[in-house]
Chains A and B, each alone.
Chain A
Amino acid sequence: MHSLSGHTAVAGIGATEFSKASGRTELQLAAEAVFAALDDAGLAPSEVDGLVTYTQDGNQEIAVAREVGIGDLSFFSRVDYGGGAACGTVLHAAMAVATGAASTVVCYRAFNERSGRRFGQPDARLGGEPSSHGMEMSWHVPFGLMTPAAWVAMFARRYMHAYGATSEDFGRVAVAMRRHAAVNPAAWFYQRPITLEEHQASKWIVEPLHLLDCCQESDGAVALVVTSAERARDLRRSPAVITAAAQGSGAGQMMMTSFYRDDMSGLQEMGVVARGLWEMSGMSPRDIQAAILYDHFTPFVLSQLEELGFCGRGEARDFMAGGGIEIDGHLPVNPHGGQLGEAYIHGMNGIAEAVRQIRGTSVNQVEGTQNVLVTAGTGVPTSGLILSRE
């Protein structure tokens, strides 16, 4: 069996501006981001033969293809489970390219998540669907446990109990992200850093989560061009080689509500992704110079550091102490400001930042980034990537 490692690369990245009200349709946002990514790579729409997006995306592949002027498509697929799909789209694209199912695949995510349907708002219909997901939600929605913040808070409380972590430990993630975003002109929170005191003083959303433990809501789109590493070398940008890509789901997995399996203090599915990434890349955490960790809510950044092996179980609070995940720390996390600081584009903007870090073009460039690890949505079946410089 051939390994996927090293055969494909991200050759182009593109995005719209990140806002609270884009003023245009999600399809237009998708088209703009795809154009930008193709221009970045130096490719024409006619050279694209594959498209991948999230199951949740409102823009069908064929609609995007029509808008952008892509002709025949030989590969199209969707990846499920909310933001857990982010790196999964790249995995699917890489597999398509590596197997010859397609030669050039664009991954995209476009939404008006702030001015349109807001994921953070309770939706009573969640429990009404007779699908397996609806049945899952039916054990929680009737009790008002129906927002992402609440689902994460349930894990966060158990994590605090298990390891003695505090709200201030969670707050240090928010402070780091906002520090990074403050110097990123593309970030919504550009020039708006926060202090730990401000984090502590922010209102409760769902205890133990404060407002500033929760990522923002955004309108915007991001697209990525995936092609063979060989071809990428001939294109406009230096390739971000896909050294590893993995998806993961754990035993007893649910969407955000895996409360019934043995351990509620970790992220079993991210452990599955971690094993996949280390195995495919032959690397260990020591080989990673920067990480893009999915930060829709601060507590899961701690869990991810542990599941990925950057530190031991329950040790993330010590790992982060003294600015450990800040730009000048021992593992810079989310130099673009993450979803807490830059924008919530369902993890897709983090992959774009990983590509910039590999290229050496980030506004918060980490020195000597050979390998960058990226993760996707937490609390759901998820995915991850290791991108490398050649």
Chain B
Amino acid sequence: MSTTAEPGVAEPAATGVHERFTALAERQIELGEVRGAAAADPVNLPMIRHWTAAMGDANPVYTDAAFAGASVHGEIVAPPAMAQVWTMPGLGGGKGGTSPVDELMVALDEDGFTGVVATNCEQTYHRYARLGERLVPATRMTGLAGPKTTALGVGYFVTWLVTWYSEDEPVAEMMFRVLKFRPREEKAAPEERTRYPLRPAVNRDTAFFWEGVQEGELRIQKCGDCGELRHPPGPVCPSCRSANRVYAVASGLGEVYSFVVHHNPPVPGIETPFVVAVIALPEGIRVVGNVVECSPEKVGIGMPVRVEYREMDDELTLPMWVPRES
């Protein structure tokens, strides 16, 4: 078994599984043609009438005895495409008997190849079936191919041939192929995250704050000379005119000073309703942020919160506030 997947050829699901499928298929193919249960009813006019009506086939040779009698058939015949109809087990499954395909299908199901889609159907008609004939299907497993990578998922193509007999005379044949596949997981490959649309402008006066949240720190501008804390930050200390800026890292605790619950109009990138609050920090400054992990009705002025950091996309992290015990 190769360990490098070629394009369109997938690795088998697990060691040994592929061999098991192959062996099973070979055994089934060796069985050759296996006869199934005979049709529940003989070829009959009422069923023909339903089928032709449903299919929109108005050819009177299928339903009009006088017309058919004058035709080359000399009597009413069944549409050849109805071949499979006569021996279908019906919705309840019926006692259709086994076919050499069943065991392989069950094995595929059990290994997670639960998806099924018909990919090929080729019918060959030997002659018209006549009223009163009771058809018998016979199935021959003809092939197993895979595993293949498809748009639906990794899977195996299973092919078989059904022949319908009247007594020992073949009336019609059908080659049928299905893809049994392992359905893709909901979240398959990690897709690129959508860019969060609400972005801050960042400049050299504010970059330290946004770099801080990226690293999980809530940074407050501090004057490098007089030590005054300030938020939002700016280039010059309004107390002492110093442009010497450093920052303090906030404790991350705070309480709701005021808040709103946004309902309308919709805001890009955020699901409504959402809460935005002015948070008072014990350091003596206020910041604005969302209160999350808390239903809007439970938010109130004075509510203790603590900061958390949320990656909005690959580039932007925002500080968010969650409730805490006081």
Q: Any chain A CB within 8 A of the CB of B298? A: no
Complex alpha-carbon distance, A97 and B206, angstroms? 43
Report yes or no: A154 in contact with B260, Cβ–Cβ below 8 A: yes
How many A residues touch the partner, as a band? 35 or more
User: What residue in chain B is nearest A129 (Cβ atoms)?
Assistant: B201
- What is the CB-to-nearest-CB distance from B249 to chain A, in angstroms, rounded to a whole number? 18
Within 8 A of B (CB), among A132-173: 134-147, 150, 153-155, 157-158, 161
Residues of B contacting A204 with CB < 8 Å?
261, 263-264, 273
Q: Is A122 an interface residue (CB 8 A)?
A: yes
The reply to whether the CB of B288 lies closer than 8 angstroms to some CB of chain A is yes
For B, the interface residue count at a CB cutoff of 8 angstroms equals 41
Q: Which residues of B contact A185 (CB under 8 A)?
A: none
**A136-B198 contact given A143-B276, A154-B276, A260-B286, CB 8 Å threshold:** no
A130 to B207 CA separation, bound complex (whole angstroms): 12
Q: Which residues of B contact A (CB under 8 A)?
A: 196-203, 205-206, 231-232, 257-270, 273-274, 276, 278, 285-290, 296, 301, 312, 316, 318
A-B contact count (CB 8 A): 124
Task: Please tell me if the beta carbons of A128 and B203 are within 8 angstroms of each other in the complex.
Answer: no
Contact, CB under 8 Å: B206 / A135: yes
Given contacts A135-B203, A144-B290, A157-B301, contact A124 B261 (CB under 8 A): no
A140, A144, A211: which has the most chain B beta carbons within 10 Å?
A: A144
Give the chain A neighbours of B196 by CB distance below 8 A.
142
Query: Given B260, B263, B296, which contacts A145 in the complex, CB threshold below 8 Å?
Result: B260
**Do B265 and A121 have beta carbons less than 8 Å apart?**
yes
Chain A residues, CB < 8 A from B265: 120-122, 147
B259 nearest in chain A by CB position: A157
**CB-CB < 8 A to B278: which residues of A?**
154, 158, 259, 264
Chain B residues near A279: list those with CB within 8 A.
none
Bound together, the chains give a CA A158 to CA B301 distance in angstroms of 8
Extra 10 A-B pairs, beta carbons < 8 Å, given A145-B262, A205-B263? A138-B201, A143-B290, A144-B276, A145-B288, A147-B267, A150-B260, A204-B261, A205-B264, A206-B262, A207-B261
Task: Tell me, in angstroms, the Cα distance from A206 to B286 when the chains sit together.
Answer: 21
Which residues of the partner chain B approach A211 to less than 8 Å between Cβ atoms?
Answer: 264
Q: Is the CB of B201 within 8 A of A203?
A: no
Q: How far is the CA of A204 from the CA of B316 in the complex (A)?
A: 30
Q: Is A127 an interface position by the 8 A CB rule?
A: yes
Q: Which residues of A contact B198 (CB under 8 A)?
A: 124, 127, 141-144, 146
In the complex, the answer to whether A128 meets B263 with C-beta atoms within 8 Å is no
Would B260 and A142 count as touching, CB distance under 8 A?
no
B270 partner residues in chain A, CB cutoff 8 A: 144
Alpha-carbon distance between A135 and B289 when the two chains are bound, in angstroms: 16
How far is the CB of A347 from the nearest CB of chain B, in Å?
A: 23
A130, B201: Cβ atoms closer than 8 Å: yes
CA distance A257 to B266 in the complex (A): 20
Q: How distant is the Cα of A389 from the Cα of B38 in the complex, in angstroms?
A: 108
Given contacts A157-B301, A260-B231, A144 and B201 within 8 Å (CB-CB):
no
**Roughly how many angstroms separate A259 CA and B288 CA in the complex, as a whole number?**
8
A142 with B200, Cβ < 8 A, contacts A124-B268, A135-B206, A205-B263 known = yes
Q: Give the residues in chain A near B264, CB-CB below 8 Å.
A: 203-206, 211
What is the distance, in angstroms, from B293's C-beta to the closest C-beta of chain A? 15
Whether the pair A143, B318 counts as a contact (CB closer than 8 A) is: yes
Interface residue ranges, A against B (CB under 8 Å): 120-122, 124, 127-130, 134-147, 150, 153-155, 157-158, 161, 203-208, 211, 257, 259-260, 264
7 nearest CB pairs, A to B = A138-B200, A207-B261, A153-B260, A158-B258, A204-B263, A145-B276, A144-B267
Smallest Cβ distance from B97 to chain A, in angstroms?
Answer: 64
Query: Are B202 and A138 within 8 A (Cβ)?
Result: yes
Q: What residue of chain A has the Cβ atom nearest to residue B279's Cβ?
A: A259
Q: How far is the CA of A120 from the CA of B201 in the complex (A)?
A: 21
A6 to chain B, nearest CB (A): 38
**Could you say which of A146, A158, A259 contacts B267, with CB atoms under 8 Å apart?**
A146
Whose C-beta in chain A lies nearest to the C-beta of B270?
A144
Bound Cα distance from A138 to B200, whole angstroms: 4
Is A154's CB under 8 angstroms from B259's CB? yes
CA distance A142 to B200 in the complex (A): 6
Which residues of chain A are near B286, meaning CB under 8 Å?
Answer: 259-260
Q: Closest CB-CB distance, A170 to chain B, in whole Å?
A: 14
How far does the Cβ of B231 sit from chain A's closest Cβ, in whole Å? 7
Bound CA span A264–B288, Å:
13
A158 cross-chain contacts in B, Cβ below 8 A: 257-258, 278, 301
Contact B203 A141 (CB under 8 A): no
Residues of A within 8 A of B203 (CB): 130, 135
Q: Which residues of A contact B257 (CB under 8 A)?
A: 158, 259, 264
A139→B200 contact, CB < 8 A: yes
Tell me, in angstroms, the Cα distance from A298 to B261 when the chains sit together.
17
Chain A residues in 8 Å Cβ range of B206: 135, 138
Contact between A264 and B258 (Cβ–Cβ < 8 Å)? yes
Interface contact A144-B258, CB-CB below 8 Å: no
- Taking the closest CB of chain A, its distance from the CB of B218, in whole angstroms, is 13
Check A150 against B276 for contact (C-beta < 8 Å). Answer: yes
- Of B201, B232, B266, B269, which is within 8 A of A260 by CB? B232
CA A153 – CA B259 in complex, angstroms?
8
- Chain B residues within an 8 Å CB radius of A260: 231-232, 285-286
Q: Are B318 and A142 in contact (CB under 8 A)?
A: yes
> Is the beta-carbon distance between B200 and A141 smaller than 8 angstroms?
yes
Instruction: Please tell me if the beta carbons of B199 and A124 are within 8 angstroms of each other in the complex.
Output: yes
CB A256 to nearest CB in B, in angstroms, measures 12
Choose one: A144, A153, A257; the contact of B274 (CB below 8 Å): A144
Do B318 and A135 have beta carbons less than 8 Å apart? no
Q: Please name all residues of chain B whose beta carbon is closer than 8 Å to the beta carbon of A154 when the two chains form the complex.
A: 258-260, 276, 278
Kindly state the separation between the CA atoms of A155 and B257 in the bound complex, as whole angstroms: 10
Residues of B within 8 A of A207 (CB): 260-261, 263, 273, 296
Identify the closest chain A residue to B263 (Cβ).
A204
**Which residues of chain B are near A157, meaning CB under 8 Å?**
258-260, 301
Partner of A134, one of B201, B312, B318: B201
- CB-defined A-B contacts under 8 Å, sample of 10: A120-B265, A136-B232, A138-B202, A143-B198, A145-B262, A158-B278, A204-B263, A206-B264, A208-B260, A259-B258
Give the docked Cα–Cα distance between A161 and B300 (Å): 10
Bound form: Cα–Cα A12–B110 in Å: 88
B289 with A206: CB separation less than 8 A: no
Q: Which of B197, B264, B285, B290 has the most CB of A within 10 A?
A: B264
